[in-house]
Structure 1
Amino acid sequence: MLVQPARRAIVVGAGPVGCLSAMALAKLGWHVTVYERRSDLRAASLQLLHSNTKSNPRQRSINLTLSSRGIAAVQAVDGSILERLMNYAVPLQGRMVHCFDGTVARQQYDRGGHCLYSIERGLLNLLLLEAAASVANISIEFLHKVQSVDFNNNTLRLYNSATAQELEEHFDLCIGADGSHSVIRRDLMQATQMEYSQHYLSHDYVEIRLPHGVDGSGNHTFLLDPDHLHVWPRGDFTMVAMPNKNKTFTCALFAPKSVFDSLPRAEIFLPWFKTYFPDLCSLFDEKRLVQDFQNNPRSHLITTKANPYHKGATIILGDAAHSMVPFYGQGLNCALEDVRVLSILFQREKDGHNPTVITRVLDEYSRTRHADLVAICDLAMESHLKLRHDVATWSYMIKAFIDNILYAISRTGSLVDLSQTISGPEVPSGWIPLYSMVSFRPDIGYSAAKKKAERQERLIDSVGLGLGALSIGYAAWFLFSVVNKLVAGY
């Protein structure tokens, strides 16, 4: 009996998407090699092998928030991994808005009690890396940088920075999970008629770490309410703070580049910070605050869109395919959902290792996934303005109140099992706020959620116009009757 050799898959990038992709492919019978160029991730993984402690790789971004989409994706690959992640995550019940006048408004995320889960990016990456490394048919090679891809011959050219050698590796399937500046995407752009757009925001952001406090018994404690994501909307700029399991908060200041440029020295920065964030400033050690602001890198905000996402047996997932701004908290969740969707498309095939089948699956992914990815990129950009300004306005809160009243009295249907199903058979007919659909209903695609929310908003606006017209009509009738009485009196 002739035994078919195991098919080989290559995953480029050992970030969260790369690790989950590797585990999903291994579950489908692939032999997987993950290539990662970063040295800090290698150092953290080596430390993990020799100790029981988990130290973060170098932080390059604000905290990540896991929502139902990301949770469903991890659950579909391995439920035990999800349990480990949740041990290091902090549940967030809603948003706490710190207004400029010192008042605070709590805004619940969802009437059903759904939460977001805050977790440090580096820690999440390390936990998924640990899980992937423990799978028998996955090997992880660090310090390997991709040079180019040959789509016709299914080969990857790499450079090993540890040995200063170049090598060429053959694959039957290649997943590019190598981030916003993806080399795989670069080569795809040259090999296909890819539609590609890239937009940098005028805003940058800087991380600032709020340390833990100490209670009367000497135990570590949170200095802010740990059940909420904290937002300080100040028009052109915004501060956010998300809790960590170790009782600290990861804060991020989002502001126009011109604002950062105008705050070069401590004697300028501190008075500015105290003016706009007085309640937060009182919790910091001023010296540490200035050090974080001056020493931590200024990071850019970018939105990228691409189409198609594949050629032959090579495909890009996550930030390599669709970078988005972080204001909807869906960058990670969408990227993990990419893995779930692709995995299910392969599960539907009898022979997912067949070259013809691979090409067909990747083609279906590009064709059916694109509308959802464009929709969430646009929604994330729209959310930028809301966090900077709208969340503190009466009009926003009144609309949210109406949204939630209609949600409370509406029957919306329950979630379907997403371990083998990409989405529900149809969009629920009841009233569901956009935020709930995006964050807590992974059975509703992003594009379907966006269309449904637009219909709902038009209905609210038309009702508002109708009520406004009735009010104006009543006022006109009242004024007319008063004038008539006055005239009759004469």
Structure 2
Amino acid sequence: MAQLQNGYSNKKQLDIVVVGAGLVGSLEALYLAKRGHRVRLYEFREDIRKTPTARGRSINLALSVRGRRALKDVGLETHMIKEHGIPMTGRRIHRTDGSTYVIPYDANTKQCIYSVGRNYLNSLLLQESEKYDNVERYFNHKLIESNLKKGSLTFQRTDTNEQVHVTADLIIGADGAFSAVRKAMMKRPFFDFSQKYIEHGYLELCIPADDNGSFQMPANYLHIWPRGEFMMIALPNQDASWTVTLFMPFSKFKNLDTEEKLIAFFEKYFPDSIPLIGKDKLVEDFFAGSPSPLVAIKCRPYNVEDKALIIGDAAHAVVPFYGQGMNAGFEDCSLLDELFQKHNDNLVEILNEFSDTRWEDTFAISDLAMYNYIEMRDLVTRPSYRLRKAMDDFIFWLLPNFWVPLYNSVTFSTMPYSRCIKNREWQDQVLKKTWSFFGVAALIGGAVALKLKHFV
């Protein structure tokens, strides 16, 4: 038995229900299974391994250090990095004249992020759970009623309409941004909740492989077409295609209501992408769907006593512009596992500490993600941005243990997100004082020079 092999046979086995068999729910099931607990995984949708295209559109995922750490804990990091992930070493910026330039993510230590397929990773996590006899999977189960304080749930099978009643020692809601478990929490007093829809939506397009089955652009980059108020990005796929995502205000999407307007818009702002996508395919894909909204969610507390907990997007959905949504959700699982170890599976202590400490960092990454959209669509084109990045990279090279740039701390470390922000604020103050000092020194030097010249 898997739980015996992992050395937890002498501990009390908890009965845990995880709602949501997406990325975070499937990963959390693996963590709990490794600890020897009984896990029942319930999912509203069908098994993604049987109908991998049924989930609809989704933004590609960027796997970085926090997510890699979690995958390493369950034995899947090497496979994802070596067998599936495509390394992206920096941003390749596309100008309107078709020329490009590169902004490395980490010019000093050469770290990179990895483009991974959402469906592939989800399927891999579910497949791994098949190795544990203490994990049960139930698909096509819609949560319709909850009594979180009592640890009871009622599901309705979407294929038969049968109602299924379950109870558990612990309920973990990993059921996404529109979480049914969180909805039940919102009925309780002292639950704080806010959501923010940004005025920009996204629509996915595709750059296919060329006739030889190869990439049409340099593969090891996140390609960005920054245009101030809007932008387009492209991430590489395993089949040499590119998932292209256009982020733009809904009002601009609405104005592109004819083929002629769409082509004229792309010829003006993204001319080099037209031959890559193909004019006919561009028109077909653009008008085949509609732009999707982007929402950020903040809430707390994450737990109901020792009976229920929400993690991942259910607890802290963020906009995708820092590539940290999945990574932050996976980090939830890593931190929870540490707390299970620290508190010897005592649910009261585990859930209270997680809820009391995690919110500050998830609020921080939500704010960082909002800021990074402005950086990606606009600031990357400004000389001031490139100058600051060059300074950060130089000081980081000179004093790597003293000065870690914001992007590096968020993406290539496990520094708490809130500390990443505080670290950046401290760096801003240091640079401000440095510039002030040199400015004053220059003024004094100029005055002295003039005085000396007068006496001469």
Contact kept? 1:207, 1:251, Cα under 8 Å: yes
Structure-to-structure mapping, 1:388-403, within 5 angstroms: 388-403=377-392
Partner of 1:213: helix, strand, or coil?
coil
Partner of 2:18: helix, strand, or coil?
strand
Letter in 2 for 1:244: N
- Counterpart selection for 1:282 from 275, 285, 294: 275
- Relative distance call for 1:369 and 1:4 in structure 2 (3 A) is closer
> Is the aligned partner of 1:82 residue 2:71?
no
Structure-to-structure mapping, 1:188-207, within 5 angstroms: 188-207=185-204
Structure-to-structure mapping, 1:76-225, within 5 angstroms: 76=73, 78-79=74-75, 81-86=76-81, 87-110=83-106, 111-214=108-211, 219-225=212-218
Deviations 1:127-167 (A, max 9, x none): 21222233221111111011122123210111111111122
The alpha carbon displacement at 1:60 in A equals 2.5
* Residue ranges of structure 1 left out of the alignment (5+ in a row): 48-54, 413-429
Letter in 2 for 1:292: D
- Counterpart selection for 2:411 from 429, 439, 446: 439
- C-alpha distance in 1 between matches for 2:390 and 2:448: 30
- Counterpart selection for 1:20 from 27, 31, 43: 27
- Counterpart selection for 1:323 from 314, 317, 338: 317
* Residue ranges of structure 2 left out of the alignment (5+ in a row): 1-9
Equivalent position of 2:372 in the other structure: 383
- C-alpha distance in 2 between matches for 1:266 and 1:190: 47
- Counterpart selection for 1:45 from 46, 49, 58: 49
Contact kept? 1:57, 1:122, Cα under 8 Å: no
The alpha carbon displacement at 1:283 in A equals 1.3
Partner of 2:293: helix, strand, or coil?
strand
Deviations 1:330-351 (A, max 9, x none): 000000000110111001233x
Contact kept? 1:88, 1:119, Cα under 8 Å: yes
Contact kept? 2:174, 2:312, Cα under 8 Å: yes
Equivalent position of 2:259 in the other structure: 266
Letter in 1 for 2:361: D
Identity %: 35
Contact kept? 1:59, 1:122, Cα under 8 Å: no
> Is the aligned partner of 1:257 residue 2:229?
no
Equivalent position of 1:407 in the other structure: 396
Equivalent position of 1:448 in the other structure: 419
Letter in 2 for 1:180: A
- C-alpha distance in 2 between matches for 1:463 and 1:223: 45
> Is the aligned partner of 1:71 residue 2:68?
yes
Contact kept? 1:7, 1:30, Cα under 8 Å: yes
The alpha carbon displacement at 1:461 in A equals 2.3
TM-score (norm: length of structure 2): 0.93
- Counterpart selection for 1:303 from 281, 290, 296: 296
- Relative distance call for 1:130 and 1:4 in structure 2 (3 A) is closer
Partner of 2:277: helix, strand, or coil?
coil
- Relative distance call for 1:479 and 1:109 in structure 2 (3 A) is same
Contact kept? 2:250, 2:291, Cα under 8 Å: no
- C-alpha distance in 2 between matches for 1:61 and 1:46: 18
- C-alpha distance in 2 between matches for 1:116 and 1:145: 35
- C-alpha distance in 2 between matches for 1:479 and 1:278: 54
Q: What is the RMSD of the two structures over their aligned residues, measured on CA atoms?
A: 2.0
Deviations 1:82-122 (A, max 9, x none): 23322121001111111234432211111211110001222
